[in-house]
Structure 1
């Protein structure tokens, strides 16, 4: 899939073409967007065609109603001739000490169940003992910093050989990355996607179980550990109303046990 910047629009052409791409991606008419943003369809049309330069306040308001990612809001502001509004603070900056402490407490409190935090390119920012348990046996070269969750999961020397429903889970992860690439202009994310999508994907991995009806609300991850098949349902959460690019692109993934056997195994293993 193609990120918004790869079409005819670019920041050099102004904010109008970029706003049009975001509006069309959200499947809104100019009138619908105008009503939501307290503007007029005529003014939205003039902005998109470059006949009118939007104010900084209007750019931010339209971006809010179009649910544009924070990084891309900065790009819209630059295209409109304004300074970026949202900083990108390094995660090790003292200003984010409280955030890092809160993240560590959150994922530790989730033990014995696995939980981790990743950034915009799936590099692992933090992980609890439940995650480290699943990484038993992974070769050192895959564990070298920066630890990447997608690479660890799909690499043929990583977790992939132990995932019992590899074809389904691989398809789920690749589709997730494709959706992100449709929203973010990210060369590193594109490179990662091309790398992991090129990993071997056998029609039926050794020991892989066929798909079967499950009473879960989401696709479970079924993975072997210590001779047992553990089953998890993944949940991903992000920060609400972030005002910093770094914080906006963090995601907390928790793996919820999908059956009593997994609960019992984790509680005994990490007791």
Structure 2
């Protein structure tokens, strides 16, 4: 599936006309770090941190970036801090279809295609699907066309009552896992688009008769399925009369220097039992 750019995926929730001091204080309080602890981490003093937060002292560009790093501020919001302090943004936001991103696009495509027959996809910070392999396309068999209009959104596809939700055997547990994941990301990113998506998908009704069998039960998966002692919460999804089990893993880029790259994530689905492995390989033969 071709990578489809969808534009910016989030904006800082704090108004840009605020000074850098209140912004830094808000991030520090959200991270539950004292002024003294932050000062020790950043090689400064609690007095200087206090002066910065109250506007009595203007931090240098280097200090803004150092504090942002120790507060684990996302790359997009680091640009907002720099602007609030009167400096130019440090991190560009290059569209994914830009020629400069060609090597990145090709690398991601090669990675997820090489993962076949197992499902894998690339998402941005609001779970819009930028690329997906044939394993994902297989799981989407039967999903209404109305949910497949670009940009595809992984959370909508998974939790919508007309999407994958009716086929997920342990829906309550898997839904709870996904919503908790989004809550953690909202706390980290302060993204209003992400919060809006969370409120939308959290309000979706459960499909009639939604099941939530135990993660180790076979739930009518077929004669080749064996009960498994799972090492992580699986997604157990029905496909053509069989129940397939997957463990999800999400990878991000280390030390990103571009907002777009910082907000990309590659999710892979590892088969959680021998029957799922056997079935997926049979589809590719």
TM-score by length of 2: 0.88
1:1-271 residue pairs with structure 2 within 5 A?
10-201=15-206, 204-205=209-210, 208-212=211-215, 215-271=229-285
Matches of 1:126 and 1:19, distance apart in 2? 35
Question: Gapped runs of 5+ residues in structure 2?
Answer: 1-9, 217-227
TM-score by length of 1: 0.92
Count, aligned residues: 265
Q: CA deviation at 1:4?
A: 11
Can you list the C-alpha shifts for 1:174-225, whole angstroms capped at 9, x where unaligned?
Answer: 11112222222333222222221111125851xx242356733321100001
Indicate conservation of the 8 Å contact 1:167/1:203, yes or no: no
Indicate conservation of the 8 Å contact 1:118/1:124, yes or no: yes
Question: Gapped runs of 5+ residues in structure 1?
Answer: none
CA change 1:80–1:217 in 2 (3 A) is: farther
Matches of 2:207 and 2:146, distance apart in 1? 23
Matches of 1:212 and 1:172, distance apart in 2? 13
Can you list the C-alpha shifts for 1:31-77, whole angstroms capped at 9, x where unaligned?
Answer: 22112211111111111121111111100011111111000101111
Matches of 1:242 and 1:145, distance apart in 2? 26
CA change 1:72–1:5 in 2 (3 A) is: closer
Q: Secondary structure at the match of 2:23?
A: helix
What's the C-alpha RMSD, in Å, of the aligned pairs? 1.9
**2:224 counterpart residue number:** none
Indicate conservation of the 8 Å contact 2:173/2:212, yes or no: no
Q: CA deviation at 1:10?
A: 4.4
Can you list the C-alpha shifts for 1:81-131, whole angstroms capped at 9, x where unaligned?
Answer: 111111111100000000000000110111111000001111110101111
